[in-house]
């Protein structure tokens, strides 16, 4: 299997955020995304500023932040532009088109105003994507389809996974890539493949999470971006730990090119 460089993939990308992300990865030499699942806004912002130079993407779950407010988003956007990373709200939208449109644009979070990318499930069928179209036509934001999950007993497998890939191909203007555990033959090079469930020193947690190493998913399984949460933000030295994950994932990318 021949792998292209991220620079080459940036040119093939069909969604503007996918192209932007591939270029950031190539420029900063990092395919590390960090999941900052902390519950106080200042903790999230402090970590974002401290590891910002090492990452291509910062992944949030804004609905777990106790003291969330618009100022949080404003500050996060400033940190993101200072360090040149993208903001990924992992909302995992799953309802009908009309409902997800409101969940994306309205409520407390106004996600459409600030997220460069969001995750969606395909259980409701392809028309969920229509709920995002108006908004992302203006911003160029990208959708990430959950094609596979890291957790034990996941039902996103087999034919469901194939249908998600098909859904992405049919909507490749809006869809920037997939959340997955492996690169399948049908996943074309215009898409970014992002993989959660990554940790060096743990096989899993007590609630079904399962971990692989950066080398395994990037080199053996062929995905592009590793998403690391507790492996970094729960470490006593998050910055130096982030550098270790960054170096491992980048070395795996470089070695698969040869």
67 counts as catalytic: no
Number of Cβ within 10 Å of residue 196's Cβ equals: 24
256 labelled ligand-binding: no
Specify the stretch interacting with ligand UP6 by CB under 6 A; choose among 44-52, 75-83, 98-106, 223-231.
Answer: 223-231
Binding to ligand UP6, residues 109-138 (CB under 6 A):
none
144 contacts ligand UP6 (rule: CB under 6 A): no
Active site residue: 29, 49, 92, 173, which one? 92
CA 141 to chain centre: 12
179 contacts ligand UP6 (rule: CB under 6 A): yes
Angle at 252 between CA 250 and CA 258, to 5 degrees: 110
Closer to ligand UP6 by Cβ: residue 140 or 200: 200
Closer to ligand UP6 by Cβ: residue 80 or 194: 194
Which of 95, 92, 97, 26 has its CA nearest to residue 61?
92
209 contacts ligand UP6 (rule: CB under 6 A): yes
Number of Cβ within 10 Å of residue 156's Cβ equals: 19
Q: Rounded to an integer, what distance in angstroms lies between the CA atom of residue 239 and that of residue 171?
A: 37
Q: Strand 57-60 to strand 86-93: parallel, antiparallel, or no bridges (unpaired)?
A: parallel
224 counts as catalytic: no
Which of 97, 89, 83, 77 has its CA nearest to residue 30?
83
Q: Rounded to an integer, what distance in angstroms lies between the CA atom of residue 123 and that of residue 158?
A: 14
Structure tokens at 86: 């993208």
- Which residues, in sequence order, are CB contacts of 228 under 8 Å at separation 6+? 32, 33, 34, 35, 198, 199, 242, 245
89 contacts ligand UP6 (rule: CB under 6 A): no
CB closest to ligand UP6, residue no: 229
142 labelled ligand-binding: no
49 counts as catalytic: no
Closer to ligand UP6 by Cβ: residue 229 or 238: 229
150 labelled ligand-binding: yes
Out of 29, 230, 239, 256, the residue judged to bind ligand UP6 by CB under 6 A? 230
Burial of residue 64, with CB atoms counted within 10 A of its CB: 0-12 exposed, 13-18 middle, 19 or more buried: exposed
57 contacts ligand UP6 (rule: CB under 6 A): no
Shortest gap between Cβ of 132 and ligand UP6 (angstroms)?
Answer: 19
Out of 23, 150, 190, 223, the residue judged to bind ligand UP6 by CB under 6 A? 150
Out of 25, 141, 165, 227, the residue judged to bind ligand UP6 by CB under 6 A? 227
37 contacts ligand UP6 (rule: CB under 6 A): yes
Q: What are phi and psi of 7, to 5 degrees?
A: -60, -45
User: What residue numbers does the annotated binding site for substrate cover?
Assistant: 37, 59, 150, 209, 229-230
Tell me which residues are annotated as active site: 90, 92, 95
């Amino acid at each position: 299997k021949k792998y292209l460089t991220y620079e080459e993939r940036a040119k093939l990308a069909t969604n503007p955020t996918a192209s932007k992300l591939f270029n950031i990865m190539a420029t900063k030499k990092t395919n590390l995304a960090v999941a900052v699942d902390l519950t106080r806004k200042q903790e999230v912002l402090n970590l974002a500023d401290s590891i910002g130079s090492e990452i291509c993407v910062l992944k949030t779950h804004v609905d777990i932040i106790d003291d969330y407010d618009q100022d949080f988003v404003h500050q996060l956007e400033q940190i993101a532009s200072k360090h040149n990373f993208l903001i990924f709200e992992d909302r995992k939208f799953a309802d009908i088109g009309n409902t997800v449109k409101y969940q994306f644009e309205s409520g407390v979070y106004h996600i459409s105003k600030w997220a460069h990318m969001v995750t969606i499930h395909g259980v409701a069928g392809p028309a969920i994507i229509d709920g995002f179209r108006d908004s992302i036509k203006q911003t160029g934001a990208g959708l990430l389809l959950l094609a596979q999950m890291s957790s034990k007993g996941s039902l996103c497998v087999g034919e469901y996974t194939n249908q998600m890939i098909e859904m992405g191909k049919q909507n490749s203007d809006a869809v920037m890539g997939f959340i997955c555990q492996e690169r399948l033959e049908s996943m074309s090079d215009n898409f970014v493949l992002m993989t959660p469930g990554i940790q060096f020193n743990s096989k899993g947690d007590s609630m079904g999470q399962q971990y692989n190493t950066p080398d395994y998913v990037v080199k053996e399984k062929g995905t592009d971006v590793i998403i690391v949460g507790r492996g970094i933000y729960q470490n006593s030295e998050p910055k130096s730990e982030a550098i270790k994950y960054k170096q491992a994932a980048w070395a795996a990318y470089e070695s698969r090119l040869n």
